[in-house]
Chains A and B, each alone.
Chain A
Amino acid sequence: MTVPLLEVRDLVKHYRAHGTVIRAVDGVSLDIAAGETLGLVGESGSGKSTVGRTVLRLEPLTSGSVRFDGNDLGSLSSAALRATRRRMQLVFQDPGGALNPRRRVGDAIAEGMRIHRTVAPGAIRDRVIALLEEVGLAASDADKRPHQFSGGQRQRIGIARALAVEPALLVCDEPVSALDVSVRAQVLNLLLELRERRALAYLFIAHDLAVVQQVAHRVAVMYLGTIVETGQARTVIGAPRHPYTRALVSAIPHPDPARASERIVLAGEQPSPAKPPPGCPFEPRCFHPAKDARCRHERPALEGLGERRVACHHERVD
């Protein structure tokens, strides 16, 4: 088997706040192959964004390992890490805040090329224009400032800036959830086109399963710092096994009002990551008919066949 582009093993990220430990990410493992898209789905507080930020080493991890292209990021010197960062880039949720309001758009896009000296200074301008055109903007936009653009256009600028350093992996953290509905599809389509043309891999983080299934080959569903179900996007969404995934799938908007009433309404709320339940993290809200004492005391492992795995004492993948 070939080495995956990104290999995350037992990633743990704990924060300390006011004397308590917040277990934001509590043992997450995932792989992404070159050119592949993994959708990481979960609600706020599930730890999905923290996974993205620790994978990029924007935050240090508590334990576990992140290997990119076979290299353990934890063992790299800070200079080597900066060089590796060229190959893994970030697309933000808030395209406005991700752009420095004082810098011209062309300057922002050129920044990565200047840092890594991948393009001769005289050729930078042409590259910037080519990138702007690649993401559907005009050459003349290079001299404008971020506030002159709509949300969708700013997201295109953010994508162009990330592409400027020729990455192999894009971590997209809720890339369309701040955009108007009629504009979301444009940005999703752009990401799909770029993936095809540039053979990009995506770690696509989102709370919206409907959006994720549109772009992801595989999905991993997170709940309270752990992955509760993973597999091919089509299988997980078409035949979810974990009760939490089933509730999420049932919440996907359905254009047929008759079918929408099959929605599963979960009781209660996600517990605080400062006080996770001792057993299965989903146990307090679980509606599985076989739920028992074991669920309350023992955390189920993520088990299954190949890439299809479920963390539930009463669901097996076979």
Chain B
Amino acid sequence: MTPLLEVTNLSIGFANPEPITAVDDVSFRIDRSEVIALVGESGCGKTLTGLAIPGLLPSEARTSAGSRVVLDGNDLVGMPEAARRRIRGARIAMVFQDPQASLNPVMRVGDQVIEAIRAHGPVPRAEARTRAAALLEEVGIADAAARLDAWPHELSGGMRQRVMIAIALAGEPDLLIADEPTTALDVTIQAQILELLDRLRRARGLAVLLITHDLGIVASRADRVLVMYAGRIIESAPTAELFRVPRHPYTRGLLAAVPRVDAPESRLEAIAGSVPQPGRWPPGCRFHPRCPVAIARCGTEAPSMEPAEGPHHTACWVATGAGS
């Protein structure tokens, strides 16, 4: 079966002020109604990867020649912008971290949802309003018909994020890219939004690319996890598998660095050093200066993604036994 979305050899760079690579040869696939988590820290390239899929990269960013983003057999990278615009919203929708900045402050919430509905086809205004109320109800906004007339500032952060999700659903997309959708929200509200995404996946068969820095969010909600570090995917595995036997030393370090309720210890295992930013990536494996198990080869030669066991892949000379 062909996947819904297949990203191959995606590389993204910037020319100014000096040429730097921000995303380096990233490949992955998403099936229908699958939730994939793309996990990484600041500057790892996860957000750019998400923006590149619907073609929303900032104008200074350059996608390199071999990059492919194939949705249902059609390559979006080579597609004319007009055709790509028809795909945005209708096939691929996005939700961002800051629902405050994503809603127009001088437009009523309902009008913004109605506008999104009518952007995807001629719908009479009255019917669009009914559908907007239904969408708000679907994303868990109580008293939806009345809330259509609310202004964005009258809603809490969690409510705004629900409205953003309703707007994303307006075009009946197959894939929702959610970039840190809960990072700006409180813990108890985070749980609500994650549950909502899970419900939409089951009810609508929606595929979700969940971009986050928080492995904890991933644990309960994703089918598969992709771990990014310094522009590359360094580990890919079914979620349970990843948490059971993390293969890459970075993933192991991340998991050890997260405090756990079941094993409270006075000291956490920390990863030494700090996250390298684009343009300052070391040669070889980019994690090797911080890696506790690095060998000589790691400093000179970059490992590629190799199967570790079954569907579990990782890019590490030591973990895949290619170091000797």
A residues sitting closer than 8 Å to B (CB atoms) are 43-44, 150-153, 180-186, 188-189, 192, 207-211, 213-214, 233-234, 237, 247-249, 251-258, 260-261, 263-266, 269-270
| B119 touches A (CB below 8 Å) | no
Residues A257 and B187 in contact, CB atoms below 8 Å apart: no
Known: A150-B274, A249-B261. A181 touches B254 (CB 8 A): yes
B310 to chain A, nearest CB (A): 17
Residue-by-residue, is B174-208 near A (CB-CB < 8 Å gives 1, otherwise 0)? Answer: 00000000000011111110010000000000000
Do A189 and B219 contact each other (CB < 8 Å), given the known contacts A150-B274, A150-B275?
A: no
Known contacts: A192-B266, A254-B219. The answer to whether A211 contacts B261 by CB under 8 A is no
Residues of B within 8 A of A261 (CB): 220
Residues of B within 8 A of A184 (CB): 257
Which residues from B are CB-within-8-Å of A153? Answer: 274
Stretch of B2-10, B209-217, B297-305 contacting A (4+ beta carbons < 8 Å): B209-217
CB<8 Å pairs between A and B, sample of 24: A180-B42, A181-B214, A181-B215, A182-B270, A182-B271, A183-B271, A185-B256, A185-B269, A186-B270, A207-B187, A208-B187, A209-B187, A210-B258, A214-B259, A247-B188, A251-B187, A251-B191, A253-B214, A254-B216, A255-B255, A256-B219, A256-B243, A257-B243, A263-B220
Contacts of A237 in B (CB 8 A): 261, 264
The prevalent SS among residues of A at the interface is helix
Contact B264 A182 (CB under 8 A): no
3 shortest interchain CB distances as A-B pairs: A253-B216, A260-B220, A185-B270
Which residues on the B side are within 8 Å of A209 (C-beta)?
Answer: 187
| Closest B residue to A183 using CB positions | B274
B41–A181 CB distance below 8 A: yes
Cα A186 to Cα B239 in complex, Å, equals 26
Contact string against A for B residues 242-268, beta-carbon threshold 8 Å, 1 for contact and 0 otherwise: 010000001001111111111011111
Nearest A residue (CB) for B187: A251
Q: Which residues of B contact A256 (CB under 8 A)?
A: 219, 243
Instruction: Please give 18 more A-B residue pairs, beta carbons under 8 A apart, in addition to A185-B269, A189-B270.
Output: A180-B41, A180-B275, A181-B215, A183-B275, A185-B257, A209-B187, A214-B259, A214-B268, A247-B191, A253-B217, A254-B219, A255-B260, A256-B219, A256-B243, A257-B239, A258-B240, A263-B191, A269-B156
